Structure 1
């Protein structure tokens, strides 16, 4: 048992670490000196959590995040409450905090890769505040620069000076994903040299616009552009003044309403908007992809309208990449709480004994939380990889160099799969962690409910997951239609390059007869290569069959999703998670043998559990596994159970290496000292009204009187 008292003041796993970053006690506190139920687990760890921390993220990344966290912890405006504030107070507080963050200029980094780390640090505190800051002072001016020209430079300056507040108006009440069917119009009027915006009906009202409900003064509006000849030139982007910046009163010709209270993110005021013959200057068309001359002629360098629209939406595509890291951060918080609580909470023990064991010692609890611990590590390395790939592409573009169309398409495809995969995995792990913490996990102060709700919109915005993920399967099917060899050219980032050997992969069979070989990460990746190739060929043949039956392109696409294209796209994203995790392990130096060993176990657990729970039937259906051969599921399940035992004593140190500080976690169940009941007592005793009589106590006592009055 790991619960034997430690015999020394320093865990055996600790090494002498010379890098100056390790002297930072905010980043690397002396957790082994904390007394409490977590101490025996920390002393039983096989690796040094401090070294692991710098393998998960760079020193610069941790420095950037702690710079934000330390600032907020020391500022009175950012002190946390366990109570739900009134809606208007949540919004006021989020707005105040956003202004403070904007003034601190945390985004003044030379390395673009640090930006998502700062974003994650801010969102882990409170995502509404992050939206109030990022939408108007980061995303809004970025799109103005990307899609506009010097005609709107004064608006960029005003935004940088925080004199205007921006937002984005794309989605309409009746249309979100189907942008081509949006009905808001912008018609050019040569006489006044202006565009006239109109909303034909409520179904065409722009909605879910973050910052618009109460505060935005300007909106980037996506509308169908009409020239005087009556021709529609598709969806174009306009910057539209919507409120007086000095009074926040709505301009005549516009109706703005508030979307009301939501499941979460209530500090962010989402709104809806309708236009009635509302005029804006001609110069307010963001003209990078298309312009209108004074006479009303539409001018564009793009012959293909789809490519022009793709360029317009590309400015927003980084959101999908960012949400991979955001969803992962929510998973980190949930898993940290569940593991620390499981190591602290004691229940039951041997018969005829007064000893109680931590629930982490029980196999059922281990299987509830440790696979999610493996998942969150896998997602950490994947989100690091996809952020690096995306920002490398941005740097190339900013340097004036051409980004290959293949790279752009592949980033689009893998982010369209990665964002749903990360969001769904985070959703499942958060819910399981909530349940693993029992009744105490249901308390609001436990934070698991808020974490779950904060992750929930990740599944919808920046592309509803089930619609967005189709972009990944479309990419794979389009390349497959040209032949397996085309994947070598179409996948410069390597997410699908392995499929150039598709025919050879499909001939492979399961050949491992013992648990060790079955759990080897290289063999698990080989298995996943086959899964992706098989699902692609299965979907490709399904599409061909539907086409040969005479179905339209629309029906073919519609009738090839469930059990085919959707499953393929998910597997494609999951495989890349494994690839990114394995690549990170391969880069480890000989100085990290213990960390390498435990990361390899985590990868084995992640991959084996994924195959066992999601794809075991596929292996037999496609002939990769043979019913007359080894029982693949028995091998995997035996390996999984063995890894649960191996990783149990490392679980606390594994969350120590990725957890945010206690101030951010703000959960009595997940504090770093593990003293759950002491922290829970403090929260309950310090909460207003804990010991007061209800103001409506008479309704309980004088029930007959109350009934006679009803």
Structure 2
């Protein structure tokens, strides 16, 4: 165990920094001047948390976030409640908050054009206050007009304009009750009628009802609906998208021929009115087919420039790939909140101490608590850098398409693959992180006001929507296996984003061995990345040979895919995403200027901890199985574990300042365990005293009196 934090707080000073952004006291408050249990940790950290804050996110990003948070904190509509509101009130309030934020125009179109990845930061800033608002806002005023622009033509320009004027509010209806990932088997139909120049939408049965449609339950006026398009000759032209009016915007009544239901209360995110919809011979104008990839002429002939229906569908769904990119940032948001609460609480909460002494140590001083939390702190930094990287790459690609530049098919395929891996690994890592943070805060962490339970529930759908993780991640392994089938050298051209380009040297990588016998050498990020290169190459070759073996045995393509997931393709896809998180983290460290020496050193330690802990806990057996480590060589797990324990000691005094660098303000944290001054018990007292009915006798008190209980009615 370490010897406790040094309580001398008089030596450290914060030098003035030149950039004008540092004068923003809302973004950079004088945290080191706050009295309380966190003060010693802040004065014993080796780096400037303010500089680190601008390394993790840009000044423009923090400006957008605080623009949102400052507006919310000063507006009565966003006043925090100390009790759980009824579901209907949550939905009413969320809707009003969404329209208030949109009307305020805190993030404009010009900003989007200049720096489109900020749109993700803006959305997650809203979500940090209340995720339901972010999702409602993102669907109704983000995804809805975006799909109209990307999949539609000038025929729907009036609907896009009306959306900017808040005259319509959209939703997105793809999933059906009985089908989600298997889009080809969906049953909703849209049949063209030449006599009325309209499409007739039909839902054959309840299993075909569009479901889990955010905003549809109570508030949406229009829906993007995916349906099987039939022409008058009876031919089906596959799934196509339509914009469908479902409610009268003037009175919010559902149109005849449309049946809308509410899915009811969920585990969390109940400000979002998820609903289902069915159509009964419901007519919509012909122009409401989103016709960029395929159209129907007046006579009823289907016209498209794409000969391959799969390619046409791929382009149609391309507008949705940004959802997976956004979920990486959303997961990071939840992880930041959870680790901030747990680290600040652990630095404030004191338990036990030396024998024959009245001294008590903060629980952060104990190695077991450090190992519960500090690897997660390293993980959240890795997720932050990964989500920043993938957002920039995605929006650079999107910006090119918007101005008419050509994006290579290889870029699109690789983005699809890495987002299909990145979204699951981010959601899963944050899921585990929040649970450990909850447990690390003991009984107080179980209080609802601690916010950790809500964070856990709010993150939970990240493992399901935009592709259930275990299904979605197969897209990444499919990409890698397909390229491997063309030979290792094919990765050079197949990976313009660089996530798999290293595999062009797959043969050489597989012939390498673990070559580091000292802890310091083994823990270098470059060496850990090289180890992950081998892990990915080995798992890919193992999976590829499994595929070949099953094919040679006569199994169908379906059976081959099905029988290569467990222990093969799934592990490969996860390692691929984790390896890119390490690579993105290392690239950010290598870009740092010389004046950021202290920050570089701390980030290097975080990266080493993240990568080494993954290898030690997830892949050590594979290193021996594949011969990368031999039995007569160094004990690699001992090297890694020794390095990990050393980093826990080094990073313990950095932990509070590291969460200061990524944490939102106290108004957003809204947890007595995670406030920036660390005065846990004062804030707990305040929360408990302000909670309704804390000191009142219940109205049902007679049910607790034995004689009255015997005579009372049920």
TM range (shorter): over 0.9
Report whether the alignment pairs 1:28 with 2:28: yes
Report whether the alignment pairs 1:335 with 2:344: no
Q: Confirm or deny: 8 A CA contact 1:170 1:206 kept in the other structure.
A: yes
Gaps of 5+ in 1: none
Structure-2 change in CA distance of 1:428 and 1:705 (3 Å): closer
What are the equivalent positions in structure 2 for 1:486-501 lying under 5 Å apart?
A: 486-501=490-505
Q: 1:209 aligns with which of 210, 213, 228?
A: 213
Report whether the alignment pairs 1:608 with 2:612: yes
Output one character per residue of 1:114-144: Cα deviation in whole Å (capped at 9) or x when no partner: 1111111011111111122221112111111
Output one character per residue of 1:361-419: Cα deviation in whole Å (capped at 9) or x when no partner: 00000000000000001111111111111111112112211001111111111011001
What is the distance in 2 between the residues matched to 1:568 and 1:296? 46
Q: What SS does structure 1 have at the residue aligned with 2:595?
A: coil
Output one character per residue of 1:501-553: Cα deviation in whole Å (capped at 9) or x when no partner: 00000011111111111111010001000000000000000001111111000
Structure-2 change in CA distance of 1:705 and 1:142 (3 Å): closer
Q: Confirm or deny: 8 A CA contact 2:82 2:692 kept in the other structure.
A: no
Report whether the alignment pairs 1:357 with 2:358: no
What is the distance in 2 between the residues matched to 1:364 and 1:707? 54
Q: Which residue of 2 aligns with 1:11?
A: 12
Q: Confirm or deny: 8 A CA contact 1:331 1:426 kept in the other structure.
A: yes
Instruction: Compute the RMSD of aligned alpha carbons.
Output: 1.1
Q: What SS does structure 2 have at the residue aligned with 1:255?
A: strand
What is the distance in 1 between the residues matched to 2:118 and 2:709? 65
Q: 1:177 aligns with which of 176, 181, 185?
A: 181
Q: Which residue of 1 aligns with 2:39?
A: 39
Deviation of the 1:707 alpha carbon: 6.6
Q: Which residue of 1 aligns with 2:596?
A: 592
Q: Confirm or deny: 8 A CA contact 1:127 1:454 kept in the other structure.
A: yes
Output one character per residue of 1:244-273: Cα deviation in whole Å (capped at 9) or x when no partner: 111111111111100000011100100001
Q: Confirm or deny: 8 A CA contact 2:36 2:679 kept in the other structure.
A: yes
Query: TM-score when scaled to structure 1?
Result: 0.99
Deviation of the 1:467 alpha carbon: 0.8
Deviation of the 1:19 alpha carbon: 1.1
Deviation of the 1:709 alpha carbon: 4.6
Report whether the alignment pairs 1:317 with 2:321: yes
Q: 1:151 aligns with which of 152, 155, 164?
A: 155
Deviation of the 1:16 alpha carbon: 3.3
What are the equivalent positions in structure 2 for 1:235-634 lying under 5 Å apart?
A: 235-634=239-638
Q: Confirm or deny: 8 A CA contact 1:2 1:44 kept in the other structure.
A: no
What is the distance in 2 between the residues matched to 1:308 and 1:578? 34
Q: Which residue of 1 aligns with 2:82?
A: 82
Structure-2 change in CA distance of 1:539 and 1:703 (3 Å): farther
Q: What SS does structure 1 have at the residue aligned with 2:241?
A: strand
Deviation of the 1:704 alpha carbon: 6.3
What is the distance in 1 between the residues matched to 2:230 and 2:57? 49
Q: Which residue of 2 aligns with 1:679?
A: 683
Q: Which residue of 1 aligns with 2:123?
A: 119
What is the distance in 2 between the residues matched to 1:179 and 1:189? 24
Segment of structure 1 superposing worse, 672-681 or 133-142: 133-142
Structure-2 change in CA distance of 1:184 and 1:513 (3 Å): same
Output one character per residue of 1:452-485: Cα deviation in whole Å (capped at 9) or x when no partner: 1111111111111111111100000000000000
Report whether the alignment pairs 1:636 with 2:640: yes
Structure-2 change in CA distance of 1:703 and 1:466 (3 Å): farther
Deviation of the 1:702 alpha carbon: 3.1
What is the distance in 2 between the residues matched to 1:113 and 1:207? 29
Q: Confirm or deny: 8 A CA contact 1:374 1:603 kept in the other structure.
A: yes
Gaps of 5+ in 2: none
Q: Confirm or deny: 8 A CA contact 1:2 1:649 kept in the other structure.
A: no
Query: TM-score when scaled to structure 2?
Result: 0.98
What is the distance in 1 between the residues matched to 2:223 and 2:323? 18
What is the distance in 2 between the residues matched to 1:433 and 1:193? 58
Deviation of the 1:113 alpha carbon: 2.0
What is the distance in 2 between the residues matched to 1:703 and 1:211? 50
Q: Confirm or deny: 8 A CA contact 1:417 1:569 kept in the other structure.
A: yes
Q: Which residue of 2 aligns with 1:101?
A: 101
What are the equivalent positions in structure 2 for 1:656-675 lying under 5 Å apart?
A: 656-675=660-679
Q: Which residue of 2 aligns with 1:63?
A: 63
What is the distance in 2 between the residues matched to 1:181 and 1:227? 18
What is the distance in 2 between the residues matched to 1:170 and 1:218? 14
